[in-house]
Amino acid sequence: MFKAVRIFDPSWAALHEIGAANIDSLAVMRCIAERLIESMKTELHTYLTLAADFKVDRADVGAFTESVLKFWRSHCKELPLWAEAARIVFAMSPNSASCERVFSRLASMFTPDQLSTLGDAMQASLMLSYNQREVG
């Protein structure tokens, strides 16, 4: 997945002259709809043209991050489909800490005897627990 999202770094995209196959690799991310992946191909030439002028110092992580975000903010009108996909990708957490917290809370709430509990009941119980509410 991390290899697929490199295409949202304009300097990497320009250097490697990405193509339709790179865009197709985003299919590993179920959160990016297939219609969006197909539509992004229509903006590929525009993206590569804009990315060719993008220069950044990769040594400073903060400056690099700010430069990439600024690129997408300033070109969201020219690249609406790419900008939509970039927002999805940039919103993803690169670690599993939040998932681990959910599984830990579920393990503390349900015993092995309750493994056959319906998913809806588990979800409702988890949401009530997380929001510190009790059912009376």
Domain presence at residue 136: no
Taking CA 40 as the corner, what is the angle to CA 39 and CA 46, rounded to the nearest 5 degrees?
A: 125
How many domains, in total, are found in the chain? 2
* 58/117 same-domain check: no
pLDDT score at 95? 67
Distance of CA 31 to the CA centre of its chain: 7
The residue range of the domain holding 114 is 97-130
pLDDT score at 94? 66
Nearest to residue 5, comparing CAs of 65, 109, 86?
86
* 72/36 same-domain check: yes
* Total-model pTM: 0.67
Backbone phi, psi, residue 26, to 5°: -70, -10
Q: Which two tokens stand for residue 132?
A: 């510190």
Q: Which two tokens stand for residue 85?
A: 């996909």
Each of the 136 residues of the chain gets a pLDDT tens digit; together they read 778 889 999 999 999 989 999 999 998 888 888 889 999 999 999 999 999 999 888 889 999 999 999 999 999 999 999 999 999 988 887 666 777 777 787 777 777 777 677 777 877 887 887 777 665 5
- Residues 52, 56, 58, 61: is their CA dihedral positive or negative? negative
* 55/112 same-domain check: no
